[in-house]
Amino acid sequence: MTPETHFAENDGVSIAYQVFGDGPQDLIYIPGWLSNLDIFWEEPRVARFLLSLARFSRVIVIDRRGTGLSDRVAPPTLEVQMGDVTAVMDAVGSKRAAFLGNSEGGCMCALFAASHPDRTTTLITVGGYAKWIKSDDYPYGAVRDDAEQWFHQVENEWGGPIAIDFTTPSLASDEKYRHWYAKYHRSSASKADAIALLRMNADIDLRAVLPSINVPTLVLQAKGDLTNSLESGRDFASRIPNAKLVEMEGEDHDPWGSCSDEIIQEIQDFLGEEEKVRVTDRVLTTVLFTDIVDSTQLAADLGDEKWSDLLEGHHEAVRRELEIFRGHEVKTTGDGFHATFDGPARSVQCATAIRESTRRMGLNVRIGIHTGECEFRGESLEGIAIHMAARVSSLAAGGEILVSRTVKDLVAGSGIEFEDFGTLELRGIPGEHQIFKVIAT
């Protein structure tokens, strides 16, 4: 029987999920590009894969927003997807869970593990990658022109078993499977949304995030995977501290293909190992700094009383925006703020709102944002990411919002537009760092 489908609400959007199995630990499965919870169960191989997971865990499967049975809204960023997963976890009473992500689903799971180690016991990926598109400093991805051809193929062949020769080549000649595979795609998203999801995924770059993952990690990679190369899988695993890489014989990218039995066994063994995950004090955090430009001169021009009133109004405005965008105030720095967010897109949107609110007060604010690993020591927050955000902020002129390359890479699909500000050395921080200016949100 198909498990009952439930819905969790997050910011007015309904997220579909199913729960089955009664194992001792929760396992959240995030599929790849597209999914449909009902259609999954119409294919025996997929049903067998899911039920096998349920032998040793309580399985929670989610249709990401924009796909399947969830609300058909604009393709979500990874940050929005994390919020949806948290809403589902809260709805089913899951305080912590192991995460299993396939392909693009692995990207979201990796970011969740780095950002929310308190809610993640284990990270497991199948065909996971740090970056999809090849670049000068990343030789393992797909060539951009090849990706564009893939987008055109989806557009031209939508409705059929698109790219089945690459995703599950071992089943490509099975007519029943081909029929199901075509229906699965058609039922998971509209053609336009499916292509939009692909284009968003093409801009994701998790290389700066993966070293921040501090939970036990298992990376499963088929040696002959035609969708995600073995070299890409090896690179992905090498960037995660102490990750275990298992290279499997086979060429299927989907986990219910020829490697299914081995994938199930590896997952069961890994989740059953004696060494359990510890809750780490280190977490991936987005750090924001604000500063009023020429505040000393402005204070002298206004006088103490007027300056004090203006500063109080500034603080109220910033705190109001932080509350709206779910930012956490760490401290004030006289005429500036130090705040943190669990998502970079909201930090940029908050920065824009702060700039506009304070501009109406006649103030010129500069803002810098960086996403990186921080460590909680009691009530205080420490780490190079804080210094990085402060240095980025110091580069901005009045009214400018500057971000690190990591922030830009993580907000792919958000609609936020950037302009290259330059590759610069930052005082006290090794190496050169590419900085971007926010030009539209």
pTM over cut 0.85? yes
Q: What is the pLDDT of residue 274?
A: 44
Q: What is the pLDDT of residue 279?
A: 54
Distances (CA, A) of 327 to 331, 343, 380, 413: 12, 9, 16, 21
pLDDT digits (tens, 9 = 90+) for 58-109: 999 999 999 999 999 988 999 999 999 999 999 999 999 999 999 999 999 9
pLDDT digits (tens, 9 = 90+) for 296-352: 999 999 999 999 999 999 999 999 999 999 999 999 988 999 999 988 999 999 999
CB atoms within 10 A of CB 364: 17
Q: What is the pLDDT of residue 278?
A: 52
* Long-range interactions of 141-148: CB distance < 8 A, separation 24+: 141/232, 144/202, 147/198, 147/202
Partners of 190 in the β-ladder: none
Cβ-based neighbours of 438, under 8 Å, separated by 6 or more? 348, 351, 352, 401, 402, 403, 416, 417, 418
Residue ranges for the chain with pLDDT beneath 50: 274-277
Q: What is the pLDDT of residue 70?
A: 98
Question: What number does CATH give the domain 5-271?
Answer: 3.40.50.1820
The tokens describing 3, both together, are 């498990």
Distances (CA, A) of 68 to 193, 359, 400: 11, 43, 40
Q: Identify whether the C-beta of residue 3 lies closer than 8 Å to the C-beta of residue 18.
A: yes
Q: What is the pLDDT of residue 260?
A: 96
Helix (H, G, I), strand (E, B) or coil at 3: coil
CA distance 232 to 420: 27
Residue 133 DSSP label: B
* Helix, strand, coil % in the chain, rounded to nearest 5: 40, 25, 35
Q: What is the pLDDT of residue 334?
A: 83
CATH class of the domain at 282-440: alpha beta
- Residue 171: which of 101, 104, 250, 261 has the closest Cα? 250
Q: Where are the domains of the chain?
A: 5-271, 282-440
